[in-house]
Chain A
Amino acid sequence: MTSKHAKAFYFSIESLWVAAACASPCVQKCDTHRLDDAPPTKSVLTRDDGLKYYRTMQVIRRMELKADQLYKQKIIRGFCHLYDGQEACAVGIEAGINVTDHLITAYRAHGFAYTRGVPVKEILAELTGRRGGCAKGKGGSMHMYAKNFYGGNGIVGAQVPLGAGVALACKYLGTDQVCAALYGDGAANQGQIFEAYNMASLWKLPCIFICENNKYGMGTSVERASASTEYYKRGDFIPGLRVDGMDILCVKEATKFAADLCRAGKGPIVMELQTYRYHGHSMSDPGVSYRTREEIQEVRSKSDPISLLKDRMLSNNMASVEELKEIDVQVRKEIEEAAQFATTDPEPPLEDLCNHIFYNDVPLEVRGTLPWVKLKSVS
């Protein structure tokens, strides 16, 4: 074959390459507690879904890294708790529930804000405190909300009884909806969580309690904080699942299983997602004084959620390397534009400072920093 023919031959091979539309990769079996069934060990993944999950996880990853950069430039101030490393949890949970279902989480909420429908530019603008932010610039990192997404909560563990309450409303109103109430391994020792477990189980509420176990509560490892680190069993009388939180398909199947159980009226369920965060607890925590850099590196190289999905898709011929690279480029561009918006949008006006304290028909006067300085509060 002459070189000219060889080139033509290879060209035609490339144009014949067709991505596989569907695959059924295996996922790890979940440990169960008080359950006769378990989520399936094979997950059907379509090409479209695969690309969607990849893109979503990549957006969250790049958005968090951009937030890190903006924080170090002092454009984002205050507190910032980053979610990189845990993307499979947010994206997998969203894949397992419906848009009409409800979700509530703690302060590591940027990923969930995105999966629940807040555009990236509104998330970044909220972090930079501008009027284009999803909470009008007044909420910041820990207070982002969307339809059926109840935040974004600063006090550890306080969101779990709230989630149980939302589940009660779902049952009471006769909708087929569930509520996913998330918390971390540190919060798992809060008393109010056990109160919520009891009420949810007593009244058979459609509540999925999800513990995102990233091995460290701020700087305290789980072994030093909890008498039992089997968080999926902590609900005791509530059935539980332990899930590989770095594998998006495992999270998706487990969430679907849990949601189906709740929709069938079989009451609450506890899900423990075993995951990892690359950053420290917050931007003021370097994250290496209580764990080694080698540990972080090992998780990055062996269990990174985006890499795992990418490898799966490539090995099942569901996408090409170039296609995924193209998605990366698009995502970077989208994040850059969002960051540009977030840094140039103006701050909210002073008149907005005191609004929405109470619900009131007439404007309320609020004392400013001095007794005769009155600010108006309108709702």
Chain B
Amino acid sequence: MAAAVRFLLKSAACSKASNVTNGVHSGLGPASLRLSPKCDPHSRTQTRHAAHFTFQADPTPTEYGQTQKMNLFQSITSALDNTLSKDPTAVIFGEDVAFGGVFRCTVGLRDKYGQDRVFNTPLCEQGIVGFGIGIAVTGATAVAEIQFADYIYPAFDQIVNEAAKYRYRSGNLFDCGSLTIRAPWGCVGHGSLYHSQSPEAFFAHCPGVKIVIPRSPVQAKGLLLSCIEDKNPCIFFEPKILYRAAVEQVPVEPYHIPLSQAEVLQEGSDVTLVAWGTQVHVMREVANMAQEKLGVSCELIDLQTILPWDTDTVCKVRCSSILYLICVSEEGQFNIYFLFIKSFHIITWAASSSNTSI
């Protein structure tokens, strides 16, 4: 059975590869790269021809009021604008945020709210997060920006040892729940070692912080506002490849999308696909291809909150007696996180049903 699944996905991927080549020539997707003409596209080794995905917008939400066309970075700016306007204690800081940020997420906020509330920090990630924890402990709302998720490691100690454990070690006397750390995340095509990393797995084993990764502008604004309101320190990773590529109609007023609730984007009965961030759009294409070419019905789940993740939705028992779970993520080979989800799922399944074949 496992071999059948692998075969199924392998043929899906191969068809995808040939579609990708066509896609590149037809100019689909802003993320496509071109191979040097010197490389032989017909070589026998597996060759990736281009990084490809197409952002797929969700239908415009109607329950949150008037909407406006925004891309991802504009939806982040809107969320931060709402926060600064509603919450007088809110401050935003990080490297280069004053002029608008290297990805333009904070454009106009300093002019609107003043230099006391939107300000630059020097080049010191450990200092930025430590400083943010300090602000949050006094009760003010702190939104700290780390310029790229790749640079978050100097702050790792502050996040894991200080922020995550503050409430626990002080017996609920103190907490830094009003801290939110934002960072551009994930591959972008030309980022190489230090502008492409997806470090969510490093933090996923740390109780006390929440990790959230949106797939689109509407999700991003709602989830970011929830993170800021949430009384736990949150890390909000923003897929940088979607900053300009993802455009949707986003509500202008503040709204919240609940944390720790995975969203089932597509119902299906044969295979469950779990993904987050950019990969959700890749999986949408894969699900369509699997349906068209192989007649396989895929269920697609956007995990959204990586920690604490929605075990109920992902592990829900299906009617079908055979269930496959595929987790897709941009992390490196050695990431434990998706193996954890898979093993959790398998254990839950084995415990609840005797008719399983995995």
Residues of A within 8 A of B (CB): 77-79, 140, 142-143, 154-157, 186-187, 189-192, 217-220, 224-226, 346-347, 350-351, 366-373
Rounded to whole angstroms, the CA-CA distance of A77 and B120 in the bound complex is: 29
User: In the complex the two chains form, is A219's CB within 8 Å of B96's CB?
Assistant: yes
B190 x A77 contact (CB < 8 A) = yes
Do B122 and A189 touch across chains, with their CB atoms under 8 A apart? yes
Complex A-B: 23 CB contacts under 8 Å: A79-B195, A143-B193, A186-B122, A186-B123, A189-B122, A189-B127, A190-B123, A190-B124, A191-B124, A191-B154, A219-B96, A219-B99, A220-B95, A220-B122, A224-B120, A225-B122, A346-B38, A347-B38, A350-B43, A350-B45, A370-B46, A372-B6, A373-B46
Asked if residues B123 and A157 are in contact (CB atoms below 8 Å), the reply is: yes
Report the Cα distance A140→B195, complex, angstroms.
14
Contact of A372 among B10, B47, B150, B195 (CB under 8 A): B10
B123 touches A217 (CB 8 A): yes
B190 engages A189 (CB within 8 Å): no
Instruction: Tell whether, in the assembled complex, residue A347 and residue B122 are in contact, meaning their CB atoms are under 8 Å apart.
Output: no
Given contacts A368-B46, A370-B10, A372-B6, contact A78 B192 (CB under 8 A): yes
- Across the two chains, which residue of chain B brings its CB closest to A344? B38
B38: which A residues are within 8 A, CB to CB?
346-347
Q: Name the CB-closest residue of A to B153.
A: A155
Which of B36, B99, B192 contacts A140, CB < 8 Å?
A: B192
B318 close to chain A: CB less than 8 A: no
Contact B124 A369 (CB under 8 A): no
- How many A-B pairs with Cβ below 8 Å? 65
Find chain A residues with CB under 8 A from B127 CB.
Answer: 189, 191
Residues of B contacting A192 with CB < 8 Å? 154
Which chain B positions have C-beta within 8 A of A224?
Answer: 120
Q: Is B1 an interface residue (CB 8 A)?
A: no
Q: Which residue of B lies closest to A284 (CB)?
A: B102
Distance to closest chain A CB from B136 (angstroms)? 20
Residue of B with least CB distance to A75? B36
Known: A78-B192, A370-B10. 12 other contacts (CB 8 A): A140-B192, A143-B193, A155-B194, A186-B123, A189-B127, A190-B123, A192-B154, A219-B96, A220-B122, A226-B122, A346-B38, A347-B39
**How many B residues, CB 8 Å from partner?**
31
8 Å CB contacts to A: which residues of B184-201?
190-195
Residues of chain A lying within 8 A (CB to CB) of residue B122: 186, 189, 220, 225-226
Q: Please indicate the chain A residues that have their CB under 8 angstroms from the CB of B120 in the complex.
A: 220, 224-225
**Contact surface of B with A, Cβ cutoff 8 Å:** 6, 9-10, 13, 36, 38-39, 43, 45-48, 95-96, 99, 120, 122-124, 126-127, 150-151, 154, 190-195, 333
Please name all residues of chain B whose beta carbon is closer than 8 Å to the beta carbon of A157 when the two chains form the complex: 123
CB distance from B191 to the nearest CB of A (A): 8
- B333 → chain A, closest Cβ, in Å? 4
In the docked arrangement, what's the CA distance between A369 and B10, Å?
12
The answer to whether B194 and A189 touch across the interface, beta carbons within 8 angstroms, is: no
Q: B36–A347 contact, CB under 8 A?
A: yes
Structural contact, A189 and B124, CB atoms closer than 8 A: yes
B contact residues around A218 at 8 Å (CB): 96
CA distance A218 to B147 in the complex (A): 12
- Tell me how far the C-beta of A51 lies from the nearest C-beta in chain B, rounded to whole angstroms: 38
Q: Shortest Cβ distance from A129 into chain B, in angstroms?
A: 8
Candidates B10, B36, B46, B126; contact of A191 at CB < 8 Å: B126
B292 to chain A, nearest CB (A): 20
B contact residues around A373 at 8 Å (CB): 46
Question: Bound complex: CA of A192 vs CA of B126, how far in Å?
Answer: 10
Contact of B123 among A189, A346, A350 (CB under 8 A): A189
Q: B273 CB to closest chain A CB, in angstroms? A: 14
- Bound CA span A218–B94, Å: 14
Residue numbers in B under 8 Å from A370 (CB-CB): 9-10, 13, 46
Contact residues in B for A186 (Cβ distance below 8 Å): 122-123
Knowing A155-B151, A155-B194, A347-B38 are in contact, say whether A366-B47 is a contact too (CB < 8 A): no
Q: CB-nearest residue of chain B relative to A107?
A: B194
Contacts of B45 in A (CB 8 A): 350-351
Min distance, Cβ A207 to any Cβ of chain B, angstroms: 21
* CB-based contact A187/B39 at 8 Å: no
Complex CA–CA separation, A29 to B120 (angstroms): 35
B39 touches A369 (CB 8 A): no
Whether B123 lies near A187 (C-beta < 8 A) is: yes
Min Cβ gap A106→B in Å is: 11
Contact A79 B192 (CB under 8 A): yes
- Least CB separation from A218: chain B residue: B96
Indicate if the CB atoms of A154 and B123 lie closer than 8 Å: no
The chain B residue sitting closest to A191, CB to CB, is: B126
Nearest A-chain residue to B46, judged by Cβ: A373
Per the bound structure, the CA–CA distance linking A371 and B45 in Å amounts to 15
Give the docked Cα–Cα distance between A77 and B99 (Å).
26
Chain A residue nearest to B10 (CB atoms) is A372
Contacts of B10 in A (CB 8 A): 370, 372
Complex CA gap A351/B47 in Å reads 11
A-chain residues with CB within 8 Å of residue B46 when the two chains form the complex: 368, 370, 373
